[in-house]
Amino acid sequence: MNSKASHQTGNRVVIVGAGFGGLNAAEALAGAPAEITVIDRKNHHTFQPLLYQVATAGLSPGEIAAPIRSILTRHRNVEVLMAEVTGFDLDRRAVQTAEHEVPYDYLIVAAGARHAYFGHEEWEPFAPGLKTIEDALEIRRRVLLAFELAERRAAAGEGDDPLNFVVVGGGPTGVELAGTLAEICRHALAGDFRSIDPRRARIHLIEGGPHVLPAYPEDLSRSALEQLRRLGVEVSTSAMVTKIEPGVIYMGDTPMNAAVILWAAGVAASPLGKKLGGPTDRAGRVLVEPDLSIPAHPEVFVIGDLAALKDASGNLLPGVAPVAIQEGRFVGKLIMRELEKRPPSFSRSLREGGDFDFHYHDKGSLATIGRSAAIAQFGKIHISGFAAWLAWLFVHILFLIGFRNRVLVFIQWAWSYFTYERGARLITGGTNLPGWSDTHLGDHRPKPGAEEISATVDK
Amino acid sequence: MNSKASHQTGNRVVIVGAGFGGLNAAEALAGAPAEITVIDRKNHHTFQPLLYQVATAGLSPGEIAAPIRSILTRHRNVEVLMAEVTGFDLDRRAVQTAEHEVPYDYLIVAAGARHAYFGHEEWEPFAPGLKTIEDALEIRRRVLLAFELAERRAAAGEGDDPLNFVVVGGGPTGVELAGTLAEICRHALAGDFRSIDPRRARIHLIEGGPHVLPAYPEDLSRSALEQLRRLGVEVSTSAMVTKIEPGVIYMGDTPMNAAVILWAAGVAASPLGKKLGGPTDRAGRVLVEPDLSIPAHPEVFVIGDLAALKDASGNLLPGVAPVAIQEGRFVGKLIMRELEKRPPSFSRSLREGGDFDFHYHDKGSLATIGRSAAIAQFGKIHISGFAAWLAWLFVHILFLIGFRNRVLVFIQWAWSYFTYERGARLITGGTNLPGWSDTHLGDHRPKPGAEEISATVDK
């Protein structure tokens, strides 16, 4: 295709990753005098801010994800390839995939981040994280299955100790998961069981630092803590996870039985960042120039969670959707402007003078905690509780990709807000849980003397 | 639980399977002086008539499936267990599951049917069938992935032979799948690709008998054939599948390359039928008494696709939802009546006289073919085309479990009817297809001399 493309224009822009950054770059380049190729290993864009709703059975995958090619279908100069990018040849200007090479004149790498276990990858099977639709379905499976297995045991007279759900990490994802889990135990599932009482389930949120939602001002993070406790979440701050085994999690030497353990304790950038060969920070983010290109390669840009860029006050831009969106649009426009020159000039000198530097416009930030519970910061204005939750709801439904999804999600939400029902309580896939295979979970007593491994939270 | 239950009433009814038969039996027994236990290996009831919509990306799983326990939650004497039934002890009156035994006074077995390969189980990996949500997601994955892989190859200049989709079996499921596949190739996917043209894809429907939808009168089955052809499906009747390999299907000695092969060529009853120890027919269905109980065990009933019962004119009742629903209600009422006697008497002599025999009331039957295409039979009245399709749509949305789903499915349907959009075009899970791993599918030339194995269609 790119041969074909080059005949037409000689300008080939390849975008790796169709998250918020990649999609917005593609939209900005729609109609440009260039062939745009978007490469993603999935066929769908995932609206990550609502992923926790899929993990907690509130929404179906199809409601928060849309096929990349149908999102971009109206842009005739944009093609979409579902392929796994394996590396780059910056000198020959080619992206390497498992099967083919895709040449480019401009490259935008927006490969995002994945949850990380900080050297304890062996914990992943026992404490899955939440970054993809598949992750969300696996978490949903484990949470729902835990109640089914507990009911089965209780019905057979094997006791009904309350279930422990443990969420590791007090950032936005951990807070959303813990708050929503508490809500569905108290409401959605409450009346559906005969031998156990889901309301007795305990939700533990474990944060390594002193505060939950540490990225927010202290008053909001305190308010978040109160709202979590009101929802029935037991929050431990400054708590270090030292070991995770099937059905057991250790803080220091103290073990806790857990029906389900969820990991939201930090992210690492995509390994593709290192493959660009330039400097990266300890989380694997690529250190970019003020114009988001990489050193010595003005034709290669890195955006979104994969890029490490500091704002005026020297703080690293957060890994949130608005940053990725603005970076995508910025790079798209920058390339568009250079493409309109004949021949396109890559020299950074032409971008000097500051008006080619990226500046993030912080329109405020929101974090949801659960039903009618959230915090919001718009500059000096701090809101929490129902008002913040409404703001959050409005913003997220508004930005949800695809009108159809927006309507459906809104109906779902209205419905479950008034009925407390969860629309997607399906268990698909296997019917086992780590730590459950062996008789009764209550008997699953850990051995003393856990070696001291510290898994601090990276923020 | 059943010990607990027995203290209360001494009457324990166990229902195995929460399909249409099992659910309706449970509903009929709601409020009965008995403890009802519904056991299913899944946590959800699947609305099977719309499963093909999930397989073809029109609906999300959550829209055609609902948790069994939330469907039955308001009936306080009904409990739901998610467990795999492994067998029965009819003398000790106990149902055996992988982990526990569940004792009963009355037993209703409604374990349904699964698709069957008639001694060619080795074909299943290359030609999946459609009976569960998991099946539907696997078919969806393969169909969507086939287009992604073809686009990737065409974009890399490796040719763009049109894709072949082959559906084996001209019964209702095969016809729905073929018709809907043709529709999405022509419309939903048409504009989304750059290097291939999905409209060039060819849909083949292979039926072993002389007619598609053979259960219907010949004029309707002929009309179905015309409607299929109008949708662009290439139909071969009296065609025997002799061999299936990755990416290749043989009719006689003639091989056909196939990007995706789907199996809708017949069903076999659940193996649980044989475990009841009584006589079964060649499809594994249990031969039941006129009251749907099994010989020598008036306290054990078999209903739905697992039961073999002939109507007045000596025809076997078809494996369709209305039969299962009526059988479930009938058995529920029968047990209810006996439970109200003290002590309940199981003797069939008390059921003599015919008014305790099950009689199926055929309200008519409908089969959908695709967009605005269907056939319907109400006694002597035969309808086809748009009118039949509207009737089908109305009936299926009306009977969809759960009001919420009904609303959502209706919106989805209205939306995609006018936009041709498919709401759930997500590929989750693996990214390989059988027969695609090796270079170009077109090169995948089969060797001559396929041994003659006949896979006839069981209806």
ipTM of the complex: 0.87
Is A432 in the B-facing interface, judged by CB distances under 8 Å? no
* Spatial contact of B166 and B202, defined as CB atoms under 8 Å apart: no
Name the closest residue on chain A to residue B159, using Cα atoms. A1
The closest CB to that of A61, out of B44, B69, B426, belongs to: B426
pLDDT at B290: 93
Task: Count how many Cα atoms sit within 13 Å of the Cα of residue A87 in the half-sphere of its side chain.
Answer: 6
Residue positions of B annotated with a catalytic role: 176
DSSP B305: G
pLDDT at A131: 94
Q: Which residues of chain B have pLDDT under 50?
A: 1-9, 438-459
Contacts of A100 in chain B (CB under 8 A): 152, 156
Burial letters B310-323, b for 16+ CB under 10 A, else e: eeeeeeebbbbbbb
- pLDDT at residue A446 is higher than 60: no
Best of A35, A74, A82 to disrupt the B interface (most B CBs within 10 Å) is A82
**B156·A99 Cβ contact <8 A:** yes
The closest CB to that of A81, out of B61, B144, B152, belongs to: B152
- Judged by CB atoms within 8 Å, which residues 318-357 of A form the interface with B? none
Measure in Å the smallest separation between the Cα of B298 and chain A Cα atoms. Answer: 27
For A113-128, what is the mean pLDDT?
A: 93
Q: What is the pLDDT of residues A75-109, one digit of tens each?
A: 999 999 999 999 999 999 999 998 899 999 999 99
* Spatial contact of A225 and A186, defined as CB atoms under 8 Å apart: no
Two tokens at B423?
């709401």
Considering the entire predicted model, what is its pTM? 0.89
Is A60 in the B-facing interface, judged by CB distances under 8 Å? yes
pLDDT at B350: 65
Is A421 in the B-facing interface, judged by CB distances under 8 Å? yes
Is B193 in the A-facing interface, judged by CB distances under 8 Å? yes
pLDDT at B137: 95
Helix crossing, B218-230 with B172-186: angle to 10°?
20
**B43·A426 Cβ contact <8 A:** yes
- pLDDT at residue A328 is higher than 60: yes
The closest CB to that of A42, out of B3, B157, B427, belongs to: B427
Q: What is the pLDDT of residues A231-283, one digit of tens each?
A: 999 999 999 999 999 999 999 999 999 999 999 998 899 999 999 999 999 99
Contacts of A424 in chain B (CB under 8 A): 60-62
Is A138 in the B-facing interface, judged by CB distances under 8 Å? no
Is B103 in the A-facing interface, judged by CB distances under 8 Å? no
Is A425 in the B-facing interface, judged by CB distances under 8 Å? yes
Contacts of A35 in chain B (CB under 8 A): none
pLDDT at A387: 95
**A195·B79 Cβ contact <8 A:** yes
Q: How far is CA A147 from CA A197, A203, A246, B29, B80, in A?
A: 9, 13, 17, 25, 12
Measure in Å the smallest separation between the Cα of A313 and chain B Cα atoms. Answer: 41
Calculate the average pLDDT of chain A. Answer: 87
Most confident range (mean pLDDT) of A356-360, A418-422, B454-458 is A356-360
* Spatial contact of B327 and B292, defined as CB atoms under 8 Å apart: yes
The closest CB to that of A62, out of B60, B70, B73, belongs to: B60
Best of A40, A133, A152, A196 to disrupt the B interface (most B CBs within 10 Å) is A152
pLDDT at B422: 76
Could you tell me the end-to-end alpha-carbon distance of chain B, in angstroms, rounded to an integer? 41
pLDDT band at A397 (very low <50, low <70, confident <90, very high): confident
The closest CB to that of B151, out of A63, A81, A191, belongs to: A81
pLDDT at B448: 36
**Of A169, A212, A245, A181, nearest to A441 (Cα)?**
A245
Is B41 in the A-facing interface, judged by CB distances under 8 Å? yes
pLDDT at A10: 55
Contacts of B407 in chain A (CB under 8 A): 411
Is A30 in the B-facing interface, judged by CB distances under 8 Å? no
Measure in Å the smallest separation between the Cα of B351 and chain A Cα atoms. Answer: 33
Neighbouring residues of A455: CB distance < 8 A, sequence distance ≥ 6 = A117, A118, A120, A123, A168, A208, A240, A241, A242, A265
**Of A319, A313, A297, nearest to A131 (Cα)?**
A319
User: How many beta-carbon pairs under 8 angstroms link A with B?
Assistant: 153
**B423·A3 Cβ contact <8 A:** no
Name the closest residue on chain B to residue A68, using Cα atoms. B192
Best of A44, A46, A60, A142 to disrupt the B interface (most B CBs within 10 Å) is A60
pLDDT at A344: 53
pLDDT at A312: 85
Contacts of A421 in chain B (CB under 8 A): 70, 404
Is B316 in the A-facing interface, judged by CB distances under 8 Å? no
pLDDT band at A354 (very low <50, low <70, confident <90, very high): low
Residue positions of A annotated with a catalytic role: 176
What's chain A look like in SS3?
Answer: CHHHHHHHHCCEEEEECCCHHHHHHHHHCCCCCCEEEEEECCCEEECHHHHHHHHCCCCCHHHHEEEHHHHCCCCCCEEEEECCEEEEECCCCEEEECCCEEECCEEEECCCEEECCCCCHHHHHHCCCCCCHHHHHHHHHHHHHHHHHHHHHHHCCCCCCCCEEEEECCCHHHHHHHHHHHHHHHCCCHHHCCCCCHHHCEEEEECCCCCCCCCCCHHHHHHHHHHHHHCCEEEECCCCEEEEECCEEEECCEEEECCEEEECCCEEECCCCHHHCCCECCCCCEECCCCCEECCEEEEEECHHHEECECCCCCECCCCHHHHHHHHHHHHHHHHHHHHCCCCCCCHHHHCCCCCCCCCCCCCEEEEEECCEEEEEECCEEEECHHHHHHHHHHHHHHCCCHHHHHHHHHHHHHHHHHCCCCCCCCCCCCCCCCCCCCCHHHCCCCCCCCCCCECCCC
**Of A211, A217, A136, nearest to A180 (Cα)?**
A136
**A61·B421 Cβ contact <8 A:** no
Contacts of B154 in chain A (CB under 8 A): 1
- pLDDT at residue A6 is higher than 70: no
CA distance A391 to A134: 28
| Radius of gyration over every alpha carbon of chain B, rounded to an integer in angstroms | 23
pLDDT band at A184 (very low <50, low <70, confident <90, very high): very high
Contacts of B428 in chain A (CB under 8 A): 61, 133-134, 137
- pLDDT at residue A320 is higher than 50: yes
**B152·A415 Cβ contact <8 A:** no
- pLDDT at residue A449 is higher than 60: no
* In chain A, % of residues over pLDDT 70: 89
pLDDT at A283: 92
What's A84-107 look like in SS3?
Answer: CEEEEECCCCEEEECCCEEECCEE
- Judged by CB atoms within 8 Å, which residues 8-27 of A form the interface with B? none
